Structure 1
Protein backbone atom coordinates (compact mmCIF):
# COMPACT_ATOMS: atom_id res chain seq x y z
CA UNK A 1 0.00 0.00 0.00
CA UNK A 2 1.36 3.41 -0.94
CA UNK A 3 2.05 5.89 1.85
CA UNK A 4 -0.78 8.26 0.87
CA UNK A 5 -3.18 5.34 0.55
CA UNK A 6 -2.28 4.13 4.03
CA UNK A 7 -2.94 7.51 5.61
CA UNK A 8 -6.23 7.65 3.75
CA UNK A 9 -7.31 4.20 4.93
CA UNK A 10 -6.17 4.81 8.48
CA UNK A 11 -8.05 8.10 8.67
CA UNK A 12 -11.26 6.42 7.61
CA UNK A 13 -10.95 3.29 9.71
CA UNK A 14 -9.64 2.06 13.02
CA UNK A 15 -5.99 1.57 12.07
CA UNK A 16 -3.31 3.18 14.19
CA UNK A 17 -0.15 4.68 12.80
CA UNK A 18 3.18 3.03 13.53
CA UNK A 19 6.35 4.98 14.29
CA UNK A 20 7.88 4.25 10.84
CA UNK A 21 4.70 5.55 9.17
CA UNK A 22 4.81 8.73 11.23
CA UNK A 23 8.46 9.24 10.26
CA UNK A 24 7.66 8.73 6.57
CA UNK A 25 4.68 11.07 6.51
CA UNK A 26 5.24 14.07 4.24
CA UNK A 27 8.64 12.82 3.05
CA UNK A 28 7.63 13.28 -0.60
CA UNK A 29 6.40 16.85 -0.12
CA UNK A 30 8.28 19.96 -1.02
CA UNK A 31 11.21 20.61 1.31
CA UNK A 32 9.93 24.10 2.04
CA UNK A 33 6.45 23.05 3.19
CA UNK A 34 5.45 24.63 6.46
CA UNK A 35 2.02 25.19 7.93
CA UNK A 36 0.86 28.80 7.49
CA UNK A 37 0.72 30.92 10.64
CA UNK A 38 -2.11 33.12 11.86
CA UNK A 39 -2.32 35.80 14.53
CA UNK A 40 -3.93 34.78 17.82
CA UNK A 41 -6.06 37.87 18.32
CA UNK A 42 -4.87 40.61 20.62
CA UNK A 43 -1.96 38.50 21.85
CA UNK A 44 -0.13 39.19 18.62
CA UNK A 45 1.30 35.67 18.74
CA UNK A 46 1.63 33.89 15.40
CA UNK A 47 0.56 30.26 15.70
CA UNK A 48 0.18 27.36 13.28
CA UNK A 49 -3.19 27.16 11.53
CA UNK A 50 -3.44 23.49 12.57
CA UNK A 51 -2.86 22.76 16.25
CA UNK A 52 -1.58 19.64 17.96
CA UNK A 53 -4.36 18.19 20.10
CA UNK A 54 -2.50 16.52 22.95
CA UNK A 55 -5.38 14.16 23.68
CA UNK A 56 -4.21 12.02 20.77
CA UNK A 57 -1.26 10.92 22.94
CA UNK A 58 -3.45 9.40 25.65
CA UNK A 59 -2.43 5.77 26.22
CA UNK A 60 0.23 5.87 23.49
CA UNK A 61 3.83 5.02 24.21
CA UNK A 62 6.43 7.68 25.04
CA UNK A 63 8.25 6.63 21.86
CA UNK A 64 5.18 7.30 19.71
CA UNK A 65 4.65 10.65 21.44
CA UNK A 66 8.24 11.65 20.71
CA UNK A 67 7.94 10.75 17.03
CA UNK A 68 4.65 12.47 16.29
CA UNK A 69 5.63 15.63 18.20
CA UNK A 70 8.88 15.70 16.23
CA UNK A 71 6.95 15.26 12.98
CA UNK A 72 4.55 18.04 13.96
CA UNK A 73 7.46 20.39 14.62
CA UNK A 74 9.05 19.41 11.29
CA UNK A 75 5.83 20.35 9.47
CA UNK A 76 5.50 23.71 11.19
CA UNK A 77 3.11 23.05 14.08
CA UNK A 78 3.68 25.57 16.87
CA UNK A 79 0.40 25.43 18.85
CA UNK A 80 0.12 22.54 21.32
CA UNK A 81 -3.06 21.93 23.34
CA UNK A 82 -3.57 19.63 26.30
CA UNK A 83 -5.59 19.28 29.51
CA UNK A 84 -5.54 17.25 32.75
CA UNK A 85 -8.74 15.46 31.73
CA UNK A 86 -7.05 13.90 28.68
CA UNK A 87 -5.93 10.75 30.46
CA UNK A 88 -2.15 10.51 30.60
CA UNK A 89 -1.62 12.86 27.64
CA UNK A 90 0.17 15.54 29.69
CA UNK A 91 2.79 13.06 30.92
CA UNK A 92 3.38 11.91 27.33
CA UNK A 93 3.49 15.39 25.80
CA UNK A 94 5.86 16.97 28.34
CA UNK A 95 9.03 14.98 27.62
CA UNK A 96 8.30 14.86 23.88
CA UNK A 97 7.84 18.62 23.62
CA UNK A 98 10.67 19.64 25.95
CA UNK A 99 13.37 19.96 23.25
CA UNK A 100 11.14 22.38 21.32
CA UNK A 101 9.42 24.19 24.18
CA UNK A 102 10.98 27.63 23.67
CA UNK A 103 9.70 27.81 20.10
CA UNK A 104 6.18 26.52 20.81
CA UNK A 105 2.93 27.99 22.08
CA UNK A 106 1.73 25.66 24.84
CA UNK A 107 -1.89 25.86 25.98
CA UNK A 108 -3.35 24.03 28.97
CA UNK A 109 -6.63 24.10 30.90
CA UNK A 110 -8.39 23.33 34.15
CA UNK A 111 -11.80 21.71 34.44
CA UNK A 112 -11.90 22.68 38.13
CA UNK A 113 -14.20 25.55 39.17
CA UNK A 114 -12.86 26.08 42.70
CA UNK A 115 -9.51 27.63 43.63
CA UNK A 116 -8.13 24.60 45.45
CA UNK A 117 -8.74 22.21 42.58
CA UNK A 118 -7.59 24.73 39.97
CA UNK A 119 -4.32 25.36 41.79
CA UNK A 120 -3.67 21.64 42.14
CA UNK A 121 -4.29 20.90 38.45
CA UNK A 122 -2.26 23.93 37.33
CA UNK A 123 0.79 22.84 39.31
CA UNK A 124 0.42 19.21 38.29
CA UNK A 125 0.18 20.25 34.65
CA UNK A 126 3.32 22.37 34.89
CA UNK A 127 5.14 19.37 36.36
CA UNK A 128 3.87 16.85 33.80
CA UNK A 129 4.64 19.18 30.92
CA UNK A 130 8.11 19.96 32.23
CA UNK A 131 7.68 23.71 31.91
CA UNK A 132 7.54 26.63 34.30
CA UNK A 133 4.85 28.55 32.44
CA UNK A 134 1.95 28.19 30.01
CA UNK A 135 1.52 30.52 27.07
CA UNK A 136 -2.24 30.12 27.48
CA UNK A 137 -4.31 28.76 30.36
CA UNK A 138 -8.06 28.25 30.03
CA UNK A 139 -11.19 27.50 31.98
CA UNK A 140 -12.04 24.15 30.42
CA UNK A 141 -15.40 23.12 28.97
CA UNK A 142 -17.67 25.67 30.61
CA UNK A 143 -21.13 24.36 29.80
CA UNK A 144 -23.61 25.92 32.24
CA UNK A 145 -24.14 29.28 33.90
CA UNK A 146 -23.29 27.54 37.16
CA UNK A 147 -19.86 26.60 35.76
CA UNK A 148 -19.14 30.25 35.09
CA UNK A 149 -20.57 31.56 38.35
CA UNK A 150 -18.52 29.08 40.42
CA UNK A 151 -15.30 29.92 38.59
CA UNK A 152 -15.77 33.64 39.24
CA UNK A 153 -17.12 33.39 42.77
CA UNK A 154 -14.89 34.09 45.81
CA UNK A 155 -12.67 31.04 46.15
CA UNK A 156 -13.19 30.23 42.47
CA UNK A 157 -10.75 29.09 39.80
CA UNK A 158 -10.29 32.57 38.37
CA UNK A 159 -8.57 33.72 41.57
CA UNK A 160 -5.86 31.12 40.97
CA UNK A 161 -5.60 31.93 37.28
CA UNK A 162 -5.21 35.66 37.88
CA UNK A 163 -2.57 35.08 40.56
CA UNK A 164 -0.69 32.64 38.32
CA UNK A 165 -0.66 35.28 35.60
CA UNK A 166 0.79 37.86 38.01
CA UNK A 167 3.40 35.30 39.07
CA UNK A 168 4.48 34.60 35.49
CA UNK A 169 3.10 31.06 35.32
CA UNK A 170 0.54 32.10 32.70
CA UNK A 171 0.96 34.56 29.83
CA UNK A 172 -2.61 34.68 28.47
CA UNK A 173 -6.03 33.64 29.78
CA UNK A 174 -8.85 32.01 27.84
CA UNK A 175 -11.77 29.60 28.05
CA UNK A 176 -13.22 26.66 26.16
CA UNK A 177 -16.99 26.36 25.94
CA UNK A 178 -19.67 23.97 24.78
CA UNK A 179 -22.55 26.33 25.42
CA UNK A 180 -23.46 29.64 23.81
CA UNK A 181 -25.02 30.90 27.04
CA UNK A 182 -22.03 29.99 29.20
CA UNK A 183 -19.52 31.45 26.75
CA UNK A 184 -21.32 34.78 26.45
CA UNK A 185 -21.67 35.02 30.24
CA UNK A 186 -17.96 34.33 30.71
CA UNK A 187 -17.10 37.09 28.26
CA UNK A 188 -19.28 39.50 30.22
CA UNK A 189 -17.37 38.71 33.40
CA UNK A 190 -13.78 38.85 32.16
CA UNK A 191 -11.69 40.28 29.36
CA UNK A 192 -10.34 36.97 28.05
CA UNK A 193 -7.53 36.82 25.49
CA UNK A 194 -8.91 33.77 23.68
CA UNK A 195 -12.09 31.78 23.10
CA UNK A 196 -12.07 28.09 22.20
CA UNK A 197 -15.31 26.55 20.99
CA UNK A 198 -16.76 24.22 18.34
CA UNK A 199 -16.73 25.96 14.98
CA UNK A 200 -18.26 23.32 12.76
CA UNK A 201 -20.31 23.43 9.56
CA UNK A 202 -23.23 21.38 10.93
CA UNK A 203 -23.35 23.14 14.31
CA UNK A 204 -23.14 26.54 12.62
CA UNK A 205 -25.77 25.93 9.92
CA UNK A 206 -28.13 23.43 11.52
CA UNK A 207 -27.65 24.13 15.23
CA UNK A 208 -27.22 27.92 15.29
CA UNK A 209 -24.21 27.16 17.46
CA UNK A 210 -21.09 29.23 16.98
CA UNK A 211 -21.97 32.51 15.24
CA UNK A 212 -22.81 34.28 18.51
CA UNK A 213 -19.55 33.37 20.25
CA UNK A 214 -17.50 33.95 17.11
CA UNK A 215 -18.87 37.43 16.49
CA UNK A 216 -18.54 38.48 20.13
CA UNK A 217 -14.96 37.21 20.29
CA UNK A 218 -13.94 39.02 17.12
CA UNK A 219 -15.56 42.25 18.30
CA UNK A 220 -13.22 42.12 21.30
CA UNK A 221 -10.15 41.13 19.27
CA UNK A 222 -9.92 37.79 21.03
CA UNK A 223 -8.01 34.92 19.49
CA UNK A 224 -10.45 32.26 18.23
CA UNK A 225 -9.42 28.61 18.58
CA UNK A 226 -11.68 26.20 16.71
CA UNK A 227 -12.76 22.80 17.95
CA UNK A 228 -14.64 20.05 16.10
CA UNK A 229 -14.01 21.37 12.58
CA UNK A 230 -13.94 17.78 11.25
CA UNK A 231 -16.81 16.51 13.42
CA UNK A 232 -20.06 15.23 11.95
CA UNK A 233 -22.50 14.22 14.68
CA UNK A 234 -22.90 12.58 18.09
CA UNK A 235 -22.72 8.85 18.66
CA UNK A 236 -26.03 7.05 18.54
CA UNK A 237 -27.07 5.02 21.60
CA UNK A 238 -24.93 1.89 21.67
CA UNK A 239 -22.77 3.04 18.77
CA UNK A 240 -19.10 2.18 19.08
CA UNK A 241 -16.74 5.11 19.53
CA UNK A 242 -14.73 6.07 16.46
CA UNK A 243 -11.61 6.07 18.63
CA UNK A 244 -10.90 5.97 22.34
CA UNK A 245 -9.89 9.64 22.23
CA UNK A 246 -12.72 10.79 19.92
CA UNK A 247 -16.10 10.76 21.68
CA UNK A 248 -18.17 11.80 18.62
CA UNK A 249 -18.42 10.70 14.98
CA UNK A 250 -16.05 12.63 12.71
CA UNK A 251 -16.58 13.07 9.00
CA UNK A 252 -15.25 9.91 7.36
CA UNK A 253 -15.42 10.82 3.68
CA UNK A 254 -12.07 12.40 2.82
CA UNK A 255 -13.35 15.09 0.45
CA UNK A 256 -16.12 16.13 2.85
CA UNK A 257 -13.57 16.14 5.66
CA UNK A 258 -11.47 18.55 3.66
CA UNK A 259 -14.46 20.81 2.98
CA UNK A 260 -15.41 20.78 6.66
CA UNK A 261 -11.93 21.93 7.62
CA UNK A 262 -12.01 24.59 4.88
CA UNK A 263 -15.32 25.90 6.24
CA UNK A 264 -13.73 26.49 9.61
CA UNK A 265 -10.40 27.82 8.38
CA UNK A 266 -12.19 30.28 6.09
CA UNK A 267 -13.39 32.07 9.23
CA UNK A 268 -11.19 34.54 11.09
CA UNK A 269 -9.77 31.95 13.42
CA UNK A 270 -6.19 31.54 14.63
CA UNK A 271 -5.95 27.75 14.70
CA UNK A 272 -8.06 24.59 14.43
CA UNK A 273 -7.56 21.51 16.60
CA UNK A 274 -8.35 18.27 14.69
CA UNK A 275 -10.04 15.28 16.36
CA UNK A 276 -7.93 13.36 18.87
CA UNK A 277 -6.60 10.70 16.54
CA UNK A 278 -3.14 10.92 14.99
CA UNK A 279 -4.32 9.96 11.50
CA UNK A 280 -6.86 12.80 11.43
CA UNK A 281 -4.26 15.24 12.75
CA UNK A 282 -1.86 14.33 9.95
CA UNK A 283 -4.68 14.38 7.42
CA UNK A 284 -5.54 17.95 8.44
CA UNK A 285 -1.93 18.96 7.85
CA UNK A 286 -1.96 17.23 4.46
CA UNK A 287 -5.04 19.22 3.47
CA UNK A 288 -3.07 22.42 4.05
CA UNK A 289 -0.72 21.66 1.15
CA UNK A 290 -3.23 23.16 -1.27
CA UNK A 291 -5.54 25.04 1.09
CA UNK A 292 -7.76 27.76 -0.37
CA UNK A 293 -10.79 29.42 1.28
CA UNK A 294 -14.07 27.64 0.76
CA UNK A 295 -16.06 28.53 -2.37
CA UNK A 296 -19.80 29.28 -2.52
CA UNK A 297 -20.41 25.96 -4.30
CA UNK A 298 -18.50 24.06 -1.62
CA UNK A 299 -20.46 25.87 1.07
CA UNK A 300 -23.70 24.76 -0.58
CA UNK A 301 -22.51 21.15 -0.47
CA UNK A 302 -21.85 21.42 3.25
CA UNK A 303 -25.16 23.17 3.92
CA UNK A 304 -26.98 20.32 2.19
CA UNK A 305 -25.18 17.83 4.42
CA UNK A 306 -25.86 19.95 7.50
CA UNK A 307 -29.57 20.00 6.69
CA UNK A 308 -29.72 16.22 7.12
CA UNK A 309 -27.23 15.90 9.98
CA UNK A 310 -28.10 16.25 13.69
CA UNK A 311 -25.44 18.73 14.85
CA UNK A 312 -23.06 17.77 17.61
CA UNK A 313 -24.02 20.99 19.44
CA UNK A 314 -27.06 23.21 19.10
CA UNK A 315 -28.04 26.51 20.67
CA UNK A 316 -30.98 25.57 22.88
Structure 2
Protein backbone atom coordinates (compact mmCIF):
# COMPACT_ATOMS: atom_id res chain seq x y z
CA UNK A 1 0.00 0.00 0.00
CA UNK A 2 1.58 3.24 -1.16
CA UNK A 3 2.11 5.78 1.62
CA UNK A 4 0.60 9.27 1.45
CA UNK A 5 1.47 12.62 3.02
CA UNK A 6 -0.23 13.19 6.35
CA UNK A 7 -1.00 16.86 5.88
CA UNK A 8 1.89 19.15 6.80
CA UNK A 9 3.36 16.80 9.42
CA UNK A 10 6.04 15.17 7.28
CA UNK A 11 4.60 11.76 8.17
CA UNK A 12 4.20 9.20 5.38
CA UNK A 13 1.22 7.06 6.32
CA UNK A 14 -0.96 4.31 4.94
CA UNK A 15 -4.17 5.63 3.34
CA UNK A 16 -6.12 3.11 5.42
CA UNK A 17 -5.71 3.50 9.19
CA UNK A 18 -6.09 0.72 11.74
CA UNK A 19 -9.13 1.57 13.87
CA UNK A 20 -8.46 0.73 17.51
CA UNK A 21 -12.03 -0.39 18.07
CA UNK A 22 -11.17 -3.41 15.91
CA UNK A 23 -9.23 -4.73 18.92
CA UNK A 24 -11.90 -3.77 21.47
CA UNK A 25 -13.46 -6.75 23.28
CA UNK A 26 -11.49 -9.19 21.14
CA UNK A 27 -9.33 -12.09 22.27
CA UNK A 28 -5.68 -11.09 22.45
CA UNK A 29 -4.71 -13.70 19.86
CA UNK A 30 -7.30 -12.35 17.42
CA UNK A 31 -6.10 -8.78 17.87
CA UNK A 32 -2.51 -9.92 17.39
CA UNK A 33 -3.53 -11.55 14.11
CA UNK A 34 -5.46 -8.50 12.90
CA UNK A 35 -2.56 -6.17 13.64
CA UNK A 36 -0.01 -8.47 12.01
CA UNK A 37 -2.15 -8.81 8.89
CA UNK A 38 -2.71 -5.05 8.70
CA UNK A 39 1.02 -4.37 9.00
CA UNK A 40 1.78 -6.99 6.36
CA UNK A 41 -0.68 -5.13 4.15
CA UNK A 42 1.21 -1.88 4.68
CA UNK A 43 -0.84 -0.20 7.40
CA UNK A 44 1.42 1.95 9.58
CA UNK A 45 -1.00 4.30 11.41
CA UNK A 46 -2.97 3.08 14.43
CA UNK A 47 -5.62 5.12 16.24
CA UNK A 48 -7.16 4.29 19.60
CA UNK A 49 -8.76 5.93 22.65
CA UNK A 50 -9.39 5.06 26.31
CA UNK A 51 -13.11 5.43 25.64
CA UNK A 52 -12.90 2.26 23.54
CA UNK A 53 -13.22 0.05 26.62
CA UNK A 54 -10.29 -2.42 26.69
CA UNK A 55 -8.93 -1.51 23.25
CA UNK A 56 -5.81 0.25 24.58
CA UNK A 57 -4.74 -2.78 26.60
CA UNK A 58 -5.34 -5.30 23.82
CA UNK A 59 -3.99 -3.16 20.99
CA UNK A 60 -1.04 -2.10 23.14
CA UNK A 61 -0.02 -5.72 23.55
CA UNK A 62 -0.50 -6.41 19.84
CA UNK A 63 1.68 -3.45 18.89
CA UNK A 64 4.62 -4.29 21.14
CA UNK A 65 6.72 -5.84 18.34
CA UNK A 66 5.97 -2.98 15.95
CA UNK A 67 5.87 0.24 18.00
CA UNK A 68 9.00 1.82 16.53
CA UNK A 69 7.78 1.17 12.98
CA UNK A 70 4.28 2.65 13.22
CA UNK A 71 2.53 5.92 13.98
CA UNK A 72 0.41 5.65 17.11
CA UNK A 73 -2.41 8.11 17.74
CA UNK A 74 -4.49 8.41 20.88
CA UNK A 75 -7.17 10.81 22.05
CA UNK A 76 -9.13 11.95 25.09
CA UNK A 77 -12.74 12.92 25.74
CA UNK A 78 -11.69 14.78 28.90
CA UNK A 79 -12.01 18.54 28.65
CA UNK A 80 -10.03 19.68 31.69
CA UNK A 81 -6.27 19.32 31.98
CA UNK A 82 -6.35 17.80 35.46
CA UNK A 83 -8.61 14.95 34.35
CA UNK A 84 -6.86 14.53 31.01
CA UNK A 85 -3.47 14.25 32.73
CA UNK A 86 -4.50 11.07 34.56
CA UNK A 87 -5.98 9.57 31.42
CA UNK A 88 -2.95 10.50 29.33
CA UNK A 89 -0.51 8.75 31.66
CA UNK A 90 -2.74 5.68 31.80
CA UNK A 91 -2.88 5.57 27.99
CA UNK A 92 0.91 5.67 27.72
CA UNK A 93 1.17 2.78 30.16
CA UNK A 94 -1.52 0.64 28.54
CA UNK A 95 -0.04 1.18 25.09
CA UNK A 96 3.54 0.44 26.20
CA UNK A 97 4.92 3.68 24.83
CA UNK A 98 6.56 6.85 26.09
CA UNK A 99 5.23 9.15 23.35
CA UNK A 100 2.35 9.57 20.92
CA UNK A 101 2.90 10.46 17.29
CA UNK A 102 -0.49 12.19 17.33
CA UNK A 103 -2.67 13.11 20.32
CA UNK A 104 -6.18 14.43 19.84
CA UNK A 105 -8.95 16.18 21.71
CA UNK A 106 -11.68 13.61 21.12
CA UNK A 107 -15.27 14.18 20.03
CA UNK A 108 -15.67 17.96 20.15
CA UNK A 109 -19.41 18.46 19.82
CA UNK A 110 -20.88 21.36 21.77
CA UNK A 111 -19.99 25.03 22.33
CA UNK A 112 -19.17 24.06 25.92
CA UNK A 113 -16.73 21.38 24.71
CA UNK A 114 -14.76 23.94 22.77
CA UNK A 115 -14.93 26.61 25.47
CA UNK A 116 -13.69 24.33 28.25
CA UNK A 117 -11.06 22.48 26.19
CA UNK A 118 -9.43 25.72 25.06
CA UNK A 119 -10.07 27.75 28.20
CA UNK A 120 -8.01 28.14 31.39
CA UNK A 121 -7.22 24.72 32.82
CA UNK A 122 -8.49 23.02 29.68
CA UNK A 123 -7.06 19.93 28.04
CA UNK A 124 -5.23 22.00 25.44
CA UNK A 125 -2.94 23.30 28.19
CA UNK A 126 -1.86 19.73 28.94
CA UNK A 127 -1.50 18.82 25.28
CA UNK A 128 0.67 21.83 24.50
CA UNK A 129 2.86 21.14 27.55
CA UNK A 130 3.57 17.59 26.37
CA UNK A 131 3.92 18.78 22.80
CA UNK A 132 6.67 21.16 23.89
CA UNK A 133 8.38 18.30 25.73
CA UNK A 134 8.15 15.97 22.72
CA UNK A 135 5.89 13.44 24.41
CA UNK A 136 3.17 14.47 21.96
CA UNK A 137 4.62 14.85 18.48
CA UNK A 138 1.59 16.22 16.59
CA UNK A 139 -1.70 17.70 17.81
CA UNK A 140 -5.16 16.98 16.45
CA UNK A 141 -8.83 16.68 17.32
CA UNK A 142 -11.88 14.68 16.31
CA UNK A 143 -15.40 16.01 15.86
CA UNK A 144 -18.75 15.05 14.43
CA UNK A 145 -20.07 18.59 14.58
CA UNK A 146 -18.70 20.69 11.74
CA UNK A 147 -19.37 23.85 13.72
CA UNK A 148 -17.28 22.52 16.59
CA UNK A 149 -14.48 21.65 14.17
CA UNK A 150 -14.50 25.09 12.59
CA UNK A 151 -14.45 26.83 15.97
CA UNK A 152 -11.53 24.69 17.14
CA UNK A 153 -9.57 25.54 14.01
CA UNK A 154 -9.87 29.23 14.88
CA UNK A 155 -8.14 28.61 18.20
CA UNK A 156 -5.11 26.49 17.26
CA UNK A 157 -3.14 25.50 14.17
CA UNK A 158 -3.88 21.78 14.33
CA UNK A 159 -1.87 19.10 12.54
CA UNK A 160 -4.82 16.78 12.01
CA UNK A 161 -8.61 16.63 12.08
CA UNK A 162 -10.73 13.48 12.30
CA UNK A 163 -14.18 14.02 10.83
CA UNK A 164 -16.97 12.10 9.03
CA UNK A 165 -16.56 12.41 5.27
CA UNK A 166 -19.67 10.53 4.30
CA UNK A 167 -21.51 10.58 0.99
CA UNK A 168 -24.99 10.78 2.55
CA UNK A 169 -24.13 13.54 5.01
CA UNK A 170 -22.52 15.62 2.30
CA UNK A 171 -25.05 15.04 -0.49
CA UNK A 172 -28.02 15.82 1.74
CA UNK A 173 -26.67 18.39 4.20
CA UNK A 174 -23.40 19.65 2.77
CA UNK A 175 -21.53 18.43 5.83
CA UNK A 176 -17.80 18.64 5.22
CA UNK A 177 -17.76 21.42 2.62
CA UNK A 178 -16.78 24.22 5.00
CA UNK A 179 -14.18 22.04 6.68
CA UNK A 180 -12.60 21.25 3.32
CA UNK A 181 -12.29 24.95 2.57
CA UNK A 182 -10.37 25.32 5.82
CA UNK A 183 -8.16 22.36 4.94
CA UNK A 184 -7.17 24.07 1.70
CA UNK A 185 -6.14 27.15 3.69
CA UNK A 186 -4.43 25.48 6.64
CA UNK A 187 -3.07 22.19 5.28
CA UNK A 188 -4.01 19.94 8.21
CA UNK A 189 -4.28 16.19 7.66
CA UNK A 190 -7.83 14.90 7.37
CA UNK A 191 -8.68 11.48 8.76
CA UNK A 192 -12.07 10.57 7.32
CA UNK A 193 -14.44 8.39 9.30
CA UNK A 194 -17.80 6.99 8.15
CA UNK A 195 -16.78 6.66 4.48
CA UNK A 196 -18.59 3.34 3.96
CA UNK A 197 -21.50 4.00 6.31
CA UNK A 198 -24.89 3.48 4.68
CA UNK A 199 -27.30 4.68 7.37
CA UNK A 200 -28.23 4.70 11.03
CA UNK A 201 -29.19 1.44 12.68
CA UNK A 202 -32.94 0.88 12.58
CA UNK A 203 -32.85 -0.58 16.09
CA UNK A 204 -30.49 -1.90 18.72
CA UNK A 205 -31.71 -5.36 17.79
CA UNK A 206 -30.58 -4.87 14.18
CA UNK A 207 -27.19 -3.71 15.39
CA UNK A 208 -26.66 -6.63 17.76
CA UNK A 209 -27.74 -9.19 15.15
CA UNK A 210 -25.45 -7.75 12.49
CA UNK A 211 -21.81 -8.67 11.76
CA UNK A 212 -20.86 -5.21 13.11
CA UNK A 213 -22.27 -4.88 16.66
CA UNK A 214 -19.41 -2.54 17.66
CA UNK A 215 -20.35 -0.08 14.93
CA UNK A 216 -22.28 3.09 15.78
CA UNK A 217 -23.83 3.12 12.28
CA UNK A 218 -24.55 0.50 9.63
CA UNK A 219 -21.93 0.08 6.91
CA UNK A 220 -22.73 -1.05 3.41
CA UNK A 221 -23.06 -4.83 3.38
CA UNK A 222 -19.87 -6.83 2.94
CA UNK A 223 -20.86 -8.02 -0.54
CA UNK A 224 -21.88 -4.51 -1.63
CA UNK A 225 -18.34 -3.73 -2.76
CA UNK A 226 -19.37 -1.25 -5.46
CA UNK A 227 -21.05 0.93 -2.84
CA UNK A 228 -18.15 0.60 -0.43
CA UNK A 229 -15.69 1.63 -3.12
CA UNK A 230 -17.91 4.54 -4.17
CA UNK A 231 -18.08 5.73 -0.55
CA UNK A 232 -14.31 5.49 -0.22
CA UNK A 233 -13.74 7.36 -3.48
CA UNK A 234 -16.21 10.02 -2.36
CA UNK A 235 -14.26 10.62 0.85
CA UNK A 236 -10.96 10.91 -1.02
CA UNK A 237 -12.63 13.16 -3.60
CA UNK A 238 -13.79 15.43 -0.78
CA UNK A 239 -10.21 15.81 0.42
CA UNK A 240 -9.54 13.02 2.89
CA UNK A 241 -5.89 12.05 3.28
CA UNK A 242 -6.62 8.75 5.01
CA UNK A 243 -9.69 6.67 5.86
CA UNK A 244 -10.51 5.08 9.21
CA UNK A 245 -12.75 2.01 8.82
CA UNK A 246 -15.69 1.22 11.09
CA UNK A 247 -14.43 -0.61 14.16
CA UNK A 248 -14.56 -4.26 13.17
CA UNK A 249 -12.19 -6.57 11.36
CA UNK A 250 -14.56 -7.26 8.47
CA UNK A 251 -14.67 -3.57 7.49
CA UNK A 252 -10.99 -3.04 8.28
CA UNK A 253 -9.85 -5.92 6.07
CA UNK A 254 -12.39 -5.06 3.37
CA UNK A 255 -11.19 -1.47 3.05
CA UNK A 256 -7.58 -2.64 2.98
CA UNK A 257 -8.41 -5.13 0.23
CA UNK A 258 -10.45 -2.63 -1.80
CA UNK A 259 -8.01 0.25 -1.58
CA UNK A 260 -6.01 -0.50 -4.73
CA UNK A 261 -9.19 -0.69 -6.81
CA UNK A 262 -10.44 2.52 -5.22
CA UNK A 263 -7.18 4.32 -5.94
CA UNK A 264 -7.01 3.05 -9.52
CA UNK A 265 -9.36 5.80 -10.67
CA UNK A 266 -10.89 9.00 -9.27
CA UNK A 267 -14.47 9.45 -8.11
CA UNK A 268 -16.58 9.53 -11.25
CA UNK A 269 -20.10 9.58 -12.74
CA UNK A 270 -20.70 5.88 -12.06
CA UNK A 271 -19.93 6.39 -8.37
CA UNK A 272 -22.17 9.47 -8.28
CA UNK A 273 -25.02 7.56 -9.92
CA UNK A 274 -24.73 4.62 -7.55
CA UNK A 275 -24.67 6.77 -4.41
CA UNK A 276 -27.51 8.96 -5.65
CA UNK A 277 -29.61 5.85 -6.17
CA UNK A 278 -28.90 4.76 -2.60
CA UNK A 279 -29.66 8.17 -1.16
CA UNK A 280 -33.45 7.88 -1.14
CA UNK A 281 -33.45 4.82 1.11
CA UNK A 282 -30.58 5.96 3.31
CA UNK A 283 -31.84 9.52 3.82
CA UNK A 284 -34.76 8.27 5.88
CA UNK A 285 -32.23 7.16 8.49
CA UNK A 286 -29.56 9.88 8.85
CA UNK A 287 -26.98 9.29 11.55
CA UNK A 288 -25.91 12.93 12.09
CA UNK A 289 -27.46 16.32 11.49
CA UNK A 290 -25.82 19.59 10.57
CA UNK A 291 -25.01 21.83 13.55
CA UNK A 292 -25.44 18.86 15.89
CA UNK A 293 -24.31 19.64 19.41
CA UNK A 294 -26.54 22.58 20.27
CA UNK A 295 -25.02 25.12 17.90
CA UNK A 296 -27.21 27.88 16.57
CA UNK A 297 -27.52 28.05 12.80
CA UNK A 298 -24.60 29.81 11.16
Whether TM-score is above 0.5 comes out as yes
Which runs of no fewer than 5 residues in structure 2 stay unpaired? 292-298
Confirm whether residue 290 of structure 1 aligns to residue 246 of structure 2: no
**Deviation by residue 1:9-68 (Cα, 9 ceiling, x = unmatched):** xxxxxxxxxxxxxxxxxxxxxxxxxx1211111102111000000111111111111111
Q: 1:119 aligns with which of 75, 85, 94?
A: 85
Counterparts of 2:204 and 2:142 in 1: how far apart (Å)?
Answer: 28
Residue correspondence of structure 1 range 1-316 to structure 2 within 5 A: 35-241=1-207, 242=210, 243-252=212-221, 253-291=224-262, 292-310=265-283, 311-316=286-291
How many equivalent residue pairs? Answer: 282
Q: 1:307 to 1:152 in 2, by over 3 A?
A: same
Alpha-carbon separation, structure 2, partners of 1:239 and 1:65? 26
Cα distance between partner residues in 1 of 2:135 and 2:80: 18
What is the deviation of 1:238?
4.6
Unaligned runs of 5+ in 1: 1-34
Please give the secondary structure, in 1, of the residue aligned with 2:282.
Answer: coil
- Separation in structure 1 between the aligned mates of residue 270 and residue 31 of structure 2, nearest angstrom: 39
| C-alpha contact (below 8 Å) 2:180/2:238 kept by paired residues | no
Judged with a 3 Å threshold, the aligned counterparts in structure 2 of structure 1 residues 217 and 66 are, in CA distance, closer, same or farther, namely: same
Q: Secondary structure of the residue that 1:59 maps to in structure 2?
A: coil
The 2-side partners of 1:190 and 1:118 are apart by 18
| Structure 1 Cα separation of the partners of residues 155 and 119 of structure 2 | 11
Find the aligned partners of 2:230 and 2:180 in 1 and give their Cα distance: 20
Equivalent residues of 1:47, 1:270 under 8 A apart: no
Q: Distance in 1 between matches of 2:13 and 2:261?
A: 19
The farther-off stretch of 289-298 and 274-283 is: 289-298
Following TM superposition, by how much is the alpha carbon of 1:244 offset from its aligned partner in structure 2, in angstroms?
3.0
